[in-house]
Amino acid sequence: MVGVSDELTASAPTRSAPAIAMPTGASEEILERMAVSAWSAECSPADRERALDALEGGKIVFLPDLAFDIDDRERRFFDPAIADGKHKNISFEPQTGAVGGTTLGGGEREELTALLRRFSDQSRALLASLFPRYATQLQPGRTSLRPVQIDGRHLSPRKDDTRLHVDAFPSRPVQGQRILRVFANVHPDGAARVWRVGEPFADCARRFLPRQSPALPGAAALLHALGITKGRRTEYDRLMLGLHDRAKADDEFQRSAIRAEPGFPAGSTWIVYTDLVMHAAIAGQHALEQTFYLPVAVMADPERSPLRILERLTGRRLVR
């Protein structure tokens, strides 16, 4: 790869990296448990500082006592049959109110929209409570309901979220912004949602950056002009997509890079920077998710962002 620093090329792991054995308690080491039981609860300064340091440092902020309330009438939405079969998730766009990926119409669609909007609003209130420095700069992205069982889905490696990856969106360049997500397990019968968490981001970057080809001149402008991307794809977006795709396609990496397999019980919530934490959802059904975007400059420590890590490894600016 052109432009990769000596630090990167000298330390890039090979495909034959030894398997990583998960030590006892590995899942607990990547979780930062917080005693939060309300979506807009007041938190102490010490708790906020602990949560912020854990989040920006690549941990999952885990709220085992925070459940998203579902009333009896809404329980009918936790049925795979309401999905249209063409999409992995049912989606809601908070800024437009549009709902996609479902066969529901009429009043049922309106009620589903209200549920998704409520989760979006409560997720924002939660982040403002735990991370007040972020509050005014959070940009809401898509809300998702995931009613389909993870097991048994047959997808290409690139689309298979049971394989370790960092988040990067082919059609939605983030241009260096962070991807911050709130998840809630709302399984009505109490089943856990199980994740797999992989090696630290910098290690993944050192492994896969040397395998990426140089950018094709004019490609980003062409993709934007044709409407394939919603915004201009920066070099940062290109490299992140490369990490996402190469990690998912590498079977040896999928075996060797596993660090932990935390389970999130029904009635729990968790918060994570999914552009930083290598993750995969390997079991479960019925979850809600809210995406937010955040400028790197708003972070307490921007040097911990994927943007700054990749800029140090490549020795060049990636967003202009």
Span 257-308, pLDDT tens digits? 999 999 999 999 999 999 999 999 999 999 999 999 999 999 999 999 999 9
pLDDT for position 154:
67
- Report d(CA 57, CA 34) in Å as an integer: 16
Nearest CA-CA partner of 193 in 83, 62, 40: 62
**Structural domain contains residue 90:** yes
**Structural domain contains residue 169:** no
Span 287-300, pLDDT tens digits? 999 999 999 999 99
Most confident of 12-21, 153-162, 195-204: 195-204
- Contacting residues for 223 by C-beta, under 8 A, at least 6 apart: 229, 233
Strands (DSSP E) along 14-103, which ranges?
A: 31-33, 60-63, 90-92, 99-100
Report the side by side order of strands in the sheet with 99-100.
Answer: 31-33, 60-63, 269-273, 178-185, 287-294, 139-146, 90-92, 99-100
**Structural domain contains residue 168:** no
pLDDT at 152 over 70: no
CATH label of the domain that carries residue 277: 2.60.120
Parent domain of 78: 30-162+177-198+260-314
Buried b (16+ CB within 10 A) or exposed e, 95-109: eeeebebbebeeeee
Instruction: Provide the number of structural domains found in the chain.
Output: 1
**Structural domain contains residue 247:** no
Structure token digits, residue 80: 């795979």
Confidence of residue 47 (pLDDT cuts 50, 70, 90): very high
Confidence of residue 63 (pLDDT cuts 50, 70, 90): very high
**Structural domain contains residue 55:** yes
**Structural domain contains residue 18:** no
Q: What share of the chain is helix, strand, coil (3-state, %, to 5)?
A: 35, 20, 45
pLDDT at 9 over 60: no
pLDDT for position 12:
40
pTM for this entry: 0.90
Q: Name the residue with higher pLDDT: 84 or 60.
A: 60
**Structural domain contains residue 186:** yes
Span 89-139, pLDDT tens digits? 899 999 899 999 999 999 999 999 999 999 999 999 999 999 999 999 999
pLDDT for position 222:
81
Task: Give the other-Cβ count within 10 Å of 205's Cβ.
Answer: 23
3-state secondary structure of 312: helix
